[in-house]
């Protein structure tokens, strides 16, 4: 199992992707999964390895890692716990991501434990099919017609990558703990 050290959207942010239990309407990762056999093989390999191994240490050359960048979500509660242990042994690294597992009550205790760590930012991934996230979760999702209206005056940010090619490592909104209360939306493409 290995991290990808950068990509065109994230910039120089490490990420680890696996197969995903969801088939989301606007999924970026599904396009790459279908188009590139090497992506499929890498995701399948990481998923197999994650079942039997701990997550590898975050590379020294990276201060930030995104959970499931290309594709993926927590495959099990045990995997949430593996991310928790990685975050505990990497207190000087930032770990961030988005999940739809908040919809499953059995995952919530482990997800909330992970979210409480000072070096972790985990947002509820939402769209028109998910309904509303729990009140104490900050959201992220695809920008849909009524996304901003549903926030009832809460702060929101629309990702600038699609329009201005500002990479995540330059923007940093999604993984700054003091900006964790801002909902983040990604334009569909």
Is residue 36's pLDDT more than 80?
A: no
Average of per-residue pLDDT across 14-22: 80
Q: How big is the CA angle at 97 (ends 151 and 64), to the nearest 5 degrees?
A: 125
* Cα-based torsion angle of the residue sequence 66, 72, 77, 79 in order, rounded to the nearest 10 degrees: -60
Closest CA to 18 of 64, 60, 55, 59: 55
Residue 7 pairs in a beta bridge with 11
CA distances from 96 to 50, 66, 121 (A): 18, 5, 5
Q: How big is the CA angle at 103 (ends 72 and 77), to the nearest 5 degrees?
A: 60
CB 170 within 8 A of CB 8: no
Residue percentage of the chain with pLDDT more than 70: 92
Tokens 């290309």 belong to residue: 70
Tokens 């594709």 belong to residue: 71
Closest CA to 64 of 154, 107, 4: 4
Phi, psi of 40 (to 5 degrees): -55, -50
Average of per-residue pLDDT across 36-47: 78
What is the reported pLDDT for 117?
A: 97
Average of per-residue pLDDT across 179-184: 91
Closest CA to 19 of 34, 5, 7: 34
pLDDT band at 132 (very low <50, low <70, confident <90, very high): confident
- Kindly report the average pLDDT of the chain as a whole number: 87
What is the reported pLDDT for 29?
A: 62
Is residue 113's pLDDT more than 90?
A: yes
């Amino acid at each position: 199992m290995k991290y990808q050290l950068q990509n065109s959207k994230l910039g120089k942010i490490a990420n680890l992707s696996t197969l995903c239990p969801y088939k989301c309407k606007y999924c970026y990762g599904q396009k790459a999964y279908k188009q590139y056999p090497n992506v499929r093989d890498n995701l399948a390999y990481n998923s197999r390895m994650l079942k039997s191994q701990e997550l590898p240490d975050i590379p020294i050359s990276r201060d930030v890692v995104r959970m499931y960048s290309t594709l993926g979500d927590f495959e099990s509660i045990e995997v949430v716990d593996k991310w928790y242990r990685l975050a505990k042994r990497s207190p000087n690294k930032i770990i961030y991501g988005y999940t739809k597992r908040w919809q499953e009550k059995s995952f919530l205790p482990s997800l909330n434990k992970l979210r409480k760590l000072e070096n972790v930012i985990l947002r509820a991934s939402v769209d028109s099919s998910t309904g509303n996230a729990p009140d104490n979760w900050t959201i992220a999702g695809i920008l849909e017609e009524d996304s901003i209206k549903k926030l009832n005056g809460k702060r929101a940010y629309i990702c600038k990558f699609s329009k201005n090619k500002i990479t995540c490592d330059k923007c940093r909104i999604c993984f700054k703990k003091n900006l964790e209360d801002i909902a983040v939306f990604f334009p569909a493409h």
